[in-house]
A and B are shown apart, each in its own frame.
Chain A
Amino acid sequence: MKAPKKDWYKLDNAAKIYPVIMNDRWMSMFRFTAHLTRDVDAALLQRALERALERFPGNRVRLRRGIFWYYLEQYTKPILVEPDVNNPCTPIARGKELFRLTYYRNRVSLEVFHAIADGGGALVFFKTILAQYIRLLGVQVPATHGVLDVDEPPGGEELEDSFLRYSRMSVLPSRAESRAYKLSGTPLEPGCIALTTGLLSVDAVKTKARALRVSITEYLAATYLYALYLVQRAQPTRRKYPVKVSVPVDLRRYYKTKTLRNFSQYVNPGIDPNYGEFTFEETLAQVHHFLRYMLTEKNLNARMSKNVSEEKVLALRLVPLWIKNRAIMAVYLRTGENTFTTALSNIGPVELPESMREYFTRFDMMLRTARKNAIECAVASYGDTLSVTFTRTIRQPHVERLFFQMLVRAGLKVRIESNMEG
């Protein structure tokens, strides 16, 4: 179904929070990086972006304030590719486009404000730009493996709010969760961000995870949780808080939707040090069983329905935006970021059409740290390369060090790179 031409879009159910909690120094953003086998041609990349953007009208937008809600308005000015920077995911200026396409040597990166898409939707956009770039190099690339056909008109379903379509509104569980441990440390200079990427073999990690009868995400999440647990244990604080890692779940796996906007949920596996000393094996078992219990269609639909039900209350919708902003911020601080220590997002294996594969060596994903969290982790894999990227806003790299040291002790070979001067 062809999408009707629109000049503006409502924010989807999950996106409504992001404009409210952003400020001049922080926006909820994430980034994909593709490593090519040769240096990037900026002029070709610009042409590829312009062509791909015709297919993604929902991404060529800017954020505007309405009386009752924020909304997305078509952005008519040219969008230019930019040279990459050392501190990615800096906030986008007001009134500008809500993503950034950058290049540096053989890398192309797409930084996206979460209000327009989640990882699943943005990856389709990114792969389509890359496919178009490879086509401009003279290679035939079919529109398969998540690459959209730029000659086709945008589909109506691609811009839909799938939360509204699939929530059943029957079960409304409480969102309340206990406060989680917050990592603290000496802040980096304002605007700076430390990135540490560890590269591993997918096969080696998969073999290790299978030996422990868990998935790769469960294994990495448990290792991450345990590293955080060890850091908290080493700190001389009187009160211990549960260590929880927020794991986003792509709902496209559960519903037949083509949406390119936000359509994900999250669950927060964790361990509570007040229950006693934990071993890594116990942590792994806890994460494994928690995720298997939580990641069911029924459970995720109930959580999604809770958010949608609140959006549908007419009395709340009629509250002016400036009042609503304060209320949403208060709820977010209490029930949002406060309930998890950090996030671990695994976008999974990046699939490309056969003819494109030889031009790429690696894909990375990174998350901008949440407003009050000092560290986040994102995972992506391509071919046999698993990339684990930590984003940090404090000086102390204790968590990454413990995380990668645990992987090395488990017999995995890890190669490290960082944006910090070493």
Chain B
Amino acid sequence: MSYCVNCGVELEESQKSCPLCAVEVCNPAKPYDAGVLKPYSSHIARINRRVERRFDGVIASVTIAFVAGICIVADMAYSAGADWSLLVAISLGLGWMLFVTPFVFDRLGPLWFVGMDMAALIGFLYGLNRLTSVEDWFTPLALPVVLSIGVLAAIGIIVIRAQKLRVFSAIAWVAGLLGTFVLTLECILDRFLFGVCSFDWSFFVAIPCFVIALIFTIIARKVELQEAIIRRLHV
């Protein structure tokens, strides 16, 4: 056994120097052996770097706000009022909401992001309509389409999370919701273009979607069938 000549404590065999005062161990009777097993593992666990991502998000937010501000100021300085710069600003705002907020608000659940993204998309399309066209296509067309996407996405998330669905059930739900969306989309388009809701081309998309949903629902309920499929398709 070796002692620290400075602190007077006995040192564990694997210590080359005293961990308290860093004085090197000097024991002629028992020289330091680097091969002795250490009391702790040498593997260092990594900590996830979410904090840095949040910091990156804040930097990106400030940059986007700065660019939007510069555009508006420049536009107002060189023309009578802001016009093109507002398009830039709402585009940047939409981009910020879609791509930067997940980094800044990393504790929020997916439902929050669906809500925020839908709100941003509605705001963007409303602004686009007001700035580029005198005809109102936002209220009869864009708003119902975006809302239907948002509602169906929210239903999908709630169902998949609440029921803790496995892959096959999740695919069934996604296919079913996709079929529903296509039907809704054609109805909205028909009402906008012709004033009446009728189903035509959407059936050709919706029916395969519903069939896929049905097949995957059946597979999800049959464990033996799932295992047989996984066994034969495993990579």
A residues near B, CB below 8 A?
23-25, 65, 83-88, 90-91, 93, 104-105, 190-192, 194-198, 397, 400-401, 404-405, 408-409, 413-422
Contact = CB atoms under 8 A, between A and B. Distances in A.
Contact of B51 (A23, A194, A413, A422): A23
B96 to A, nearest CB: 21
Nearest to B39: A417
Contact of B43 (A86, A105, A422): A86
Contact of B9 (A194, A415, A420): A415
Contacts of A195: 40
B162 to A, nearest CB: 12
B43 A83 contact: yes
24 contacts: A24-B48, A24-B50, A24-B51, A25-B51, A65-B109, A84-B41, A86-B40, A90-B46, A105-B37, A191-B45, A191-B47, A196-B19, A397-B19, A400-B20, A405-B20, A408-B7, A416-B11, A417-B12, A417-B15, A417-B19, A418-B39, A418-B40, A422-B15, A422-B17
A420 B16 CA distance: 10
A90 B10 contact: no
Contacts of A84: 40-41, 43
A86 B16 contact: no
A91 B45 CA distance: 10
A86 B15 contact: no
Interface in B1-58: 4, 7-12, 14-22, 37, 39-51
Contact of A419 (B8, B9, B40): B40
Given A83-B41, A422-B18, A405 B7 contact: yes
A240 B186 CA distance: 75
B7 A104 contact: no
Contacts, number: 109
B45 A416 contact: no
Contacts of B18: 416, 422
B229 to A, nearest CB: 23
A411 B37 CA distance: 30
A124 to B, nearest CB: 26
Contacts of A414: 8-10
Given A25-B47, A401-B7, A422-B18, A415 B12 contact: yes
Contact of B47 (A91, A194, A417, A422): A91
B27 to A, nearest CB: 14
A128 to B, nearest CB: 25
A23 B53 CA distance: 13
Contact of A104 (B11, B41, B47): B41
Nearest to A107: B39
Contacts of A405: 7-9, 20
B114 to A, nearest CB: 17
Given A86-B40, A416-B12, A419-B40, A24 B7 contact: no
Interface string B47-77: 1111100000000000000000000000000
Q: Give the top 9 A-B pairs by smallest Cβ distance, nearest first.
A: A418-B19, A417-B12, A419-B40, A401-B20, A408-B8, A422-B15, A85-B45, A415-B10, A24-B50
B20 A196 contact: yes
Interface size class of B (residues with CB under 8 A): 20 to 34
A195 B20 CA distance: 11
Contacts of B19: 194, 196, 397, 400, 416-418, 420, 422
A91 B17 CA distance: 30
A104 B16 contact: no
Contacts of B46: 90, 191
Contacts of A190: 47
Given A104-B40, A417-B15, 5 more contacts: A85-B45, A86-B41, A401-B20, A418-B12, A422-B15
A422 B43 CA distance: 16
Contacts of A413: 10
Given A85-B43, A198-B9, A404 B48 contact: no
A38 to B, nearest CB: 14
Contacts of A404: 7, 9, 20
B13 to A, nearest CB: 9
B44 A191 contact: yes
A74 B18 CA distance: 45
B39 A419 contact: yes
Given A24-B50, A422-B17, A416 B44 contact: no
Contacts of A25: 47, 51
A86 B47 CA distance: 13
Nearest to B38: A419
Given A86-B44, A87-B44, A416 B37 contact: no
Contacts of A90: 45-47
Contacts of B12: 415-418
A191 B44 CA distance: 9
Contacts of A400: 19-20
A86 B10 contact: no
A91 B107 CA distance: 15
Interface in B94-141: 107, 109
A71 to B, nearest CB: 15
A397 B4 CA distance: 15
A416 B21 CA distance: 12
Nearest to B19: A418
